[in-house]
Every structure is written in structure tokens, then in C-alpha cells.
Amino acid sequence: MDVITSRKNSGVRMMRELLKSADYRRETDLFAVEGDHLCGELAERSALECFLYTEKAAKKYPETVKKAAVRAESAAVITEELSEYISDTKTPQGMFAAAERFGSPIPENARRLVVLDGVQDPGNVGTIIRAAEAFGTDGVLYSPTCADKFSPKTLRASMGSVFRLPVRFYSDAENLRGYLKGFTVYGAMLDESAKRLGSVKFPEKTAVVIGSEGSGISPEIAEICDEKIYIPISGAESLNAAMAASVLLWELMNN
């Protein structure tokens, strides 16, 4: 197979743009991942639009390269220089896969949901999705002001959980109400009326709302919350969004 060496190659340009630009991902309805783990996960769950890899990657990760190449509409070998040019990381593993954006619907029998309202750090969004899967949450709902679930940093932080767990976009408060019909909704917020985590017996169908890192839950989404809840801490000023969500979801699983 010939080795691609030019930055002007259409596959190279597409892959780089998908990793760099949220606008381009929306325009094309595609997204990209890189590295052994995520390329392998994606190839197991979706046909691939394009797969690019280096000869070094083919030797180091032969099973993943073989699996992804078979699932790809087009596959090609690229140079190490192009791998570094495309990559969103400092130490690329030399493989990149692109696919159509996809997601699963929230199950009709869902009992536990987490809602993200304006969580803007992609690392936090990905970590919360990973925690949601780990602690048996049935799905994640995220707002227009959240980090893109298909951004490279979100995907890496989720460690593939975004492919396995239903993660759905909601457009506004009214749209969210439809998703949460029949749920008791708890908003994580510091408020005089908030209940202490550990003192609450969660109902059969419960949703937990996590607000933005800077300003918390927006007034529109706060109106949807039936109860407010806080995590008691000592020795630190606060927890970041991902840490708080993980604590809440663990408690929700064991309640």
C-alpha cells in the first residue's frame, strides 16, 4: 500500500479538521478519534468513514489496525510526520478513525439519569459520562452550552463510555422537561434549602443535575429541580463538576 505523505490529502485534511473544529464536526455530521483504545472501541460499534494509520502503529497494534481497516470505507497508511500533524495529543499513537456522529435513545425504563447544564470543560464532561456508566446510570442529558460530546478531549476522558451509554442533547428547559417526565429531579447546588447528601432516600426514578463550573445550575433549569442537594466537604473550598458528579452518582447507585 502506498504511504500518504502530503498534508493536502483529502483524508488527512478531513481528519485534522474533525479533531480540531466543533463547527466542522457539526457541518459534516462526522467526528474523529485517535489512538489504539478509541479506534478499537469505535470500530466495534460503527462503520468508519476513514481510517489512517502509520506503519509503526500497524506493527504495535496489529489487531486494532486490522479490525478498523476492515470496517473503514477507506483506509490508508500515513507518515509519522502526518500523524503528528493530525494529532490532538503530544504523543500520538499513529492511528485515526472518522465516523458519522451517533447516539442511543434514553431507555424508556430508565431509572437513573444525570443532566449536565453548561458543563464547559470537555475533560469534566467526558469524566462524568465515564462515571455515569461506572455507577449504573441509564443515560446522560447535556445542554447546548456543554462541551461537545464528540470533542477529542471529551472522548478521551470518557474512555469510550460515550459510545456505550446513551448521551443525548436537550435544546432547552422545555425539551428537558419532556425527558424528565416522571422523574424526581435533584439539583446539585449550595443553598440554604439544599439537603445534605447521605440524608436523602432517592425515589425510584431520579435525575441529578450538575451545573457549570463557574456559575452552577442556570435559573431556567433550576426551576425544573424538585429538590436541591449538596455534598458536605471539609478541608477544601469546593469540588469540580466531575468530582461532584462522581460522588453523587455513587451515592445514587448505592441508595
Q: Would you say 86 and 203 are in contact if contact means Cβ atoms under 8 Å apart?
A: no
Task: Indicate the pLDDT class of residue 224, thresholds 50, 70 and 90.
Answer: very high
The mean of the pLDDT values for the chain is: 94
* pLDDT above 70 coverage of the chain, percent: 100
Instruction: Determine the Cα–Cα distance for residues 142 and 145; give it in Å rounded to an integer.
Output: 8
Q: What is the pTM for the complete model shown? A: 0.92
pLDDT number for residue 1: 66
Q: What is the pLDDT of residues 36-67, one digit of tens each?
A: 999 999 999 999 999 999 999 999 999 999 99
Mean pLDDT of 167-191: 93
Residue 198 has pLDDT above 90, yes or no: no
Phi first, then psi, for residue 114 (nearest 5°) are -120, 135
Instruction: Among 38-42, 76-80, 210-214, name the one with the lowest average pLDDT.
Output: 210-214
User: And the C-alpha cell for 61?
Assistant: 497494534
Instruction: Determine the Cα–Cα distance for residues 229 and 200; give it in Å rounded to an integer.
Output: 9
CATH of 3-100, one of 3.40.50.700, 3.90.1300.10, 3.40.50.300, 3.30.1330.30: 3.30.1330.30
CATH of 112-254, one of 3.40.1280.10, 2.60.120.620, 3.40.50.1370, 3.30.540.10: 3.40.1280.10
Instruction: Determine the Cα–Cα distance for residues 52 and 75; give it in Å rounded to an integer.
Output: 6
pLDDT number for residue 242: 94
Task: Indicate the pLDDT class of residue 255, thresholds 50, 70 and 90.
Answer: confident
All structural domains of the chain with their residue ranges:
3-100, 112-254
Instruction: Determine the Cα–Cα distance for residues 40 and 33; give it in Å rounded to an integer.
Output: 10
DSSP string, 6-63: -TT-HHHHHHHHHHH-HHHHHHHTEEEEESHHHHHHHHHHS-BSEEEE-HHHHHHSHH
Instruction: Determine the Cα–Cα distance for residues 65 and 69; give it in Å rounded to an integer.
Output: 6
